[in-house]
């Protein structure tokens, strides 16, 4: 593909188009169609089954926001588990924290990692070579089922939309498994979709987290590539518990996340706040 418009379509009602300069990689793995495109606006970008996943131009918004709120507030961060994250950006940000002793990354599709290492290495960068990274090509749902109880301090779910190989990552039984493998006071963080484009998925995630963990704290930002205006992430820990000794060595190297952005991101839009505070039966 060269000089053409590539479009992601949302619910057959909305689309975002990107002009492609050239296709760097295209393959069909056991799980999904993998494409890496070179574009004028976003630079190189990863597309899975027609869904825009990440790009050079704006990946920092997503990866900094999925990682640092949890890792700058959790009681312990020595043992971190990432489910998904095949582009390497989440692992890169996790491994910027000197307090992390081991980062286990479980990605179901080896093809995504290999394609990103070869054609989009700017995102994973030094994270791929960090000796603390334990990269495994396994089913994340099964991994969580088999992992010992209390074996992780932080779990980060960096999955795509709830279709295809990522569908099981939005299941309540999976969340229950995450709760089991988290140590005492452990924190679960995940991308929780757009409350406008994927409204019901967003609210379902909040309800499920509250049933399983007793709390959910969504936070808000934007990722241009996702074409949704507003994007969300959610964590189960205390957003106010920023630890200065963790923030200081991280914030200086961030392009988007900062303590001020952190505090502001957890302010809920009025309509969403009302709906989340309404009784469950309403």
Q: Where are the domains of the chain?
A: 4-54, 59-277
The residue whose two tokens read 């390497």 is: 88
Res 282: pLDDT? 40
Res 170: pLDDT? 66
The token pair at 172 is 């309540």
> Under a CB-based contact definition with an 8 Å cutoff, are residues 194 and 229 in contact?
yes
Choosing from 38, 58, 153, 158, which is the catalytic residue? 158
Class of domain 4-54: mainly beta
Establish whether domains 4-54 and 59-277 are of one fold.
no
Query: In the annotation, is 158 catalytic?
Result: yes
Which ranges of the chain have pLDDT less than 50? 163-166, 281-282
Res 160: pLDDT? 67
251 vs 72: CA distance, rounded Å: 10
Q: What is the sign, positive or negative, of the torsion defined by CA atoms of 49, 157, 101, 61?
A: positive
The token pair at 100 is 């992390």
233-282 pLDDT, tens digit each: 999 999 999 999 999 999 999 999 999 999 999 999 999 999 999 876 44
Cβ-proximal residues to 235 (8 Å cutoff; 6+ apart), any chain: 69, 70, 73, 187, 188, 189, 190, 216, 217, 219
Q: Which fold has domain 59-277?
A: Rossmann fold (3.40.50)
Cβ-proximal residues to 152 (8 Å cutoff; 6+ apart), any chain: 79, 80, 81, 104, 181, 182, 183, 186
């Amino acid at each position: 593909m060269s000089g053409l418009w590539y479009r992601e379509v949302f619910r057959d009602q909305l689309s975002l188009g990107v002009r492609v300069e050239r296709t760097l990689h295209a393959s069909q793995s056991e799980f999904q169609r993998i494409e890496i495109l070179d574009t004028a606006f976003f630079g190189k970008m990863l597309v899975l089954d027609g869904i825009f996943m990440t790009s050079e131009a704006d990946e920092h918004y997503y990866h900094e926001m999925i990682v640092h709120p949890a890792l700058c507030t959790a009681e312990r961060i020595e043992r971190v588990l990432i489910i998904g994250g095949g582009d390497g950006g989440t692992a890169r940000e996790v491994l910027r924290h000197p307090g992390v002793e081991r980062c286990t990354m479980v990605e179901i599709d080896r093809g995504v990692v290999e394609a990103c290492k070869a054609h989009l290495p700017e995102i994973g960068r030094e994270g791929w070579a960090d000796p603390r990274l334990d990269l495994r090509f396994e089913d994340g749902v099964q991994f969580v089922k088999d992992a010992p109880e209390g074996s992780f301090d932080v779990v980060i779910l960096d999955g795509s939309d709830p279709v295809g190989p990522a569908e099981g990552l939005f299941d309540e039984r999976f969340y229950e498994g995450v709760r089991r493998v988290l140590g005492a006071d452990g924190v679960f963080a995940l991308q929780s979709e757009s409350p406008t484009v994927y409204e019901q998925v967003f609210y379902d995630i909040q309800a499920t987290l509250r049933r399983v963990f007793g709390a959910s704290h969504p936070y808000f930002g934007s990722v241009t590539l996702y074409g949704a205006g507003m994007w969300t992430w959610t964590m189960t820990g205390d957003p106010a518990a920023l630890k200065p000794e963790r923030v200081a060595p991280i914030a200086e190297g961030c392009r988007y996340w900062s303590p001020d952005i952190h505090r502001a991101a957890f302010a809920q839009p009025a309509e969403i706040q009302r709906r989340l505070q309404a009784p469950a039966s309403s």
